[in-house]
Amino acid sequence: MGKRLAAEFIGTLWLVLGGCGSAVLAAAFPELGIGFAGVSLAFGLTVLTMAFAIGHVSGCHLNPAVSVGLWAGGRFPAGDLLPYIVAQVLGGIAGAGILYIIASGHAGFDLSGGFASNGYGDHSPGGYSLTAALVCEVVMTFAFLFVIMGATHGQAPKGFAPIAIGLCLTLIHLISIPVTNTSVNPARSTAPAIFVGGWALAQLWLFWVAPLVGGALGGFVYRWISDDRPVPVAVTGEN
């Protein structure tokens, strides 16, 4: 368990540092900014790369909503949920801490820019309402778990799960960055919110509730429609 939790800590650190880091450091860089498309790809690549690196160790959840969704889908034991979630949140905070050290080295850095925090209403990139943000996060996380369950199914092509999962997360960001800055991951949302404080912490509840509900629904529905109940497999497809 210790090694599995360490893997989740490191993997979630990488997700926050790579994904949020691309948003904070590179999205609007003068003349060469990567924009929404680049940030979307960065988040997908963090999951894809870590899935190959630690999928065989911990399953590469990197996300409390994924852990809860896999539990709802019959792929993960309830007794492991709390340790995994704690490791993921701590890893995300560590990643945000490293990002803060790097970003604050620039003379124009200011946390009031949001530090890649998730939000709705006045703090949504596109000014979307609480209801829109809630629906978006539930549906996107549902889709994410649905793809994860299918890609790691015992009858899925072996070894391709990280690609499907990483591209799915990229697509989710392409759709929903304008709405909420895209969470689908309570650990990812908590990490920058701790540094920003204020509004980011006040709105954080939505980015726990919606992804957990969407993840649980995605895992449950896939389990319901699947013809069989495969033994849990690593995200890399290896037994």
Note whether 186 and 141 are within 8 A (CB).
Answer: no
Residue-wise DSSP of the chain: -HHHHHHHHHHHHHHIIIIIHIIIIITT-TTT--HHHHHHHHHHHHHHHHHHHHHHHH----SHHHHHHHHHTTSS-GGGHHHHHHHHHHHHHHHHHHHHHHHTTSTT--GGG-TT----GGGSTT---HHHHHHHHHHHHHHHHHHHHHHTSTTSPTT-HHHHHHHHHHHHHHHHHHHHS--S-HHHHHHHHHHH-HHHHHTTTHHHHHHHHHHHHHHHHHHHH-SS-PPP--TTS--
How far is CA 15 from each of CA 6, 32, 108, 188, rounded to the nearest angstrom? Answer: 14, 22, 25, 8
Q: Report pLDDT for 89.
A: 98
pLDDT band for position 185 (cuts 50, 70, 90) = very high
- In tens, the pLDDT along 56-77 reads 999 999 999 999 999 999 999 9
pLDDT band for position 227 (cuts 50, 70, 90) = low
- pLDDT at residue 135 greater than cutoff 70: yes
Mean pLDDT of 126-135: 97
- pLDDT at residue 107 greater than cutoff 80: yes
Q: Report pLDDT for 158.
A: 82
- Cα–Cα distance for residue pair 13/88, rounded to 1 Å: 8
- In tens, the pLDDT along 76-99 reads 999 999 999 999 999 999 999 999
Mean pLDDT of 232-237: 49
Q: Name residues whose C-beta falls within 8 Å of residue 234's C-beta, 6 or more positions apart in sequence.
A: 55, 56, 59, 152
Largest CA distance in the chain: 57
- pLDDT at residue 233 greater than cutoff 70: no
Name which of 142, 147, 155, 140 is nearest 48 in CA terms.
147
Q: Report pLDDT for 234.
A: 52
Q: Report pLDDT for 108.
A: 82
For the stretch 35-53, what's the b/e string if a residue is b when 16 or more beta carbons lie within 10 angstroms of its beta carbon? ebeebbbbbbbbbbbbbbb
